[in-house]
């Protein structure tokens, strides 16, 4: 089966077949390539839901053999400290993932606090337009579908710019296209936005 090439913008690249790199996460990507320079060989990566933390971590682990701890802010001190010592003993890099900055973690162990404080802290930035376009394209290419530039430009002017919204809209447009047996077009995009805005209003009430 032939693969569908993503019509990616010039400043967008695909890495490890798992995540996209734009200005929003380029510094994180660069640092993942230079893990030998991390303080304590540890990085704390902060990013919102659906921002690609898990995909970046999977690619990093596959390439380096490093250890990964997802949702680190909710972990017990002992679990995190044990993993830290294991990474140290095995001479492997450690990547801690969280949606919350370290200042909001409930850490009690003084030794763990000091190590976290002295580690490299990086945050995935809000999605730029290249990232938003690329994520939509990647989602539909994986399903053998395409999304037109007209639809992308329509959404660009109207959608909330967040990773979670890209995911929500992509899934809703996909479901509507299947339901109506139509391609991803402006009508589908308008309907999807309408459904999501209605749902958001119900939540706010």
Q: What is the pLDDT of residues 164-198, one digit of tens each?
A: 999 999 999 999 999 999 999 999 999 999 998 77
pLDDT in tens, 29-67: 999 999 999 988 999 999 999 999 999 999 999 999 999
Confidence band for 134, pLDDT divided at 50, 70 and 90:
very high
Q: Specify which residues 97 forms β-bridges with.
A: 45
**pTM of the predicted model, to two decimals?**
0.84
In the predicted structure, residue 6 carries a pLDDT above the cut 50: no
Which residue from 159, 162, 163, 187 is spatially nearest to 173, judged by alpha carbons? 187
Q: What is the pLDDT at residue 12?
A: 37
Share of the chain above pLDDT 90, in %: 82
Q: Buried (b) or exposed (e) across 76-97, using 16+ Cβ within 10 A? A: eeeebbebbeebeeeebbbbbb
Q: What is the pLDDT at residue 18?
A: 76
Higher pLDDT, 170 or 4: 170
Q: What is the pLDDT at residue 199?
A: 62
Q: What is the pLDDT at residue 77?
A: 96
Domains of the chain, each with CATH number or no CATH: 13-123 (3.40.50.300), 129-204 (1.10.8)
């Amino acid at each position: 089966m032939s693969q569908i090439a993503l019509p990616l913008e010039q400043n967008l690249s695909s890495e490890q077949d798992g995540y996209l790199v734009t200005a929003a996460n380029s510094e994180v990507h660069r640092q993942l390539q230079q893990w030998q320079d991390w303080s304590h060989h540890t990085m704390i990566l902060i990013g919102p839901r659906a921002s690609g933390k898990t995909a970046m971590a999977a690619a990093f682990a596959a390439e380096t053999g490093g250890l990964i701890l997802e949702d680190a802010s909710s972990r017990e001190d002992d679990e995190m400290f044990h993993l830290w010592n294991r990474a140290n003993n095995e001479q492997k890099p450690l990547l801690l993932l969280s949606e919350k900055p370290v200042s909001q973690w409930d850490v009690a162990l003084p030794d763990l606090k000091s190590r976290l404080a002295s580690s490299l802290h990086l945050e995935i930035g809000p999605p730029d337009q290249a990232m938003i376009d690329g994520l939509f394209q990647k989602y539909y290419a994986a399903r053998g579908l395409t999304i037109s530039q007209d639809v992308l430009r329509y959404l660009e002017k109207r959608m909330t710019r967040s990773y979670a919204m890209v995911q929500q809209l992509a899934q809703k447009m996909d479901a509507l296209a299947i339901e109506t047996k139509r391609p991803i077009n402006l009508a589908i995009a308008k309907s999807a936005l309408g459904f999501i805005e209605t749902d958001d209003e119900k939540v706010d009430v």
